[in-house]
Amino acid sequence: MDIDFSKLTKGHAQGIFAAQENLMGNLPVKSNCLDIIFAGEIIEHLIDTDHFLDEIHRVLKKSGSLVLTTPNLCNLENRLRILMGLYPILLITLPEEIITSGFKTKGLLSDRSEKETLILLR
Phi and psi of 77, rounded to 5°?
-60, -45
Say what the pLDDT of residue 99 is.
59
Show pLDDT as tens, one digit a residue, over the chain (122 residues): 777 777 788 877 888 777 777 788 898 889 999 998 888 888 878 888 889 989 999 999 988 888 887 776 777 777 888 889 887 765 444 555 665 677 776 666 665 555 555 656 55
| Residues 6+ positions from 95 with CB-CB distance below 8 Å | 105
For the four alpha carbons of 115, 21, 121 and 10, in that order, the dihedral sign comes to negative
Q: What is the DSSP letter of 2?
A: B
Say what the pLDDT of residue 120 is.
61
Closest CA to 97 of 41, 46, 53, 43: 53
CB–CB of 103/43 below 8 Å? no
pTM greater than 0.85: no
Dist CA 6 CA 16 (whole Å): 15
Tell me if the domain spanning 5-121 has CATH number 3.40.50.150. yes
Say what the pLDDT of residue 91 is.
46
User: Would you list the domain boundaries of the chain?
Assistant: 5-121
Say what the pLDDT of residue 33 is.
94
Dist CA 116 CA 69 (whole Å): 6
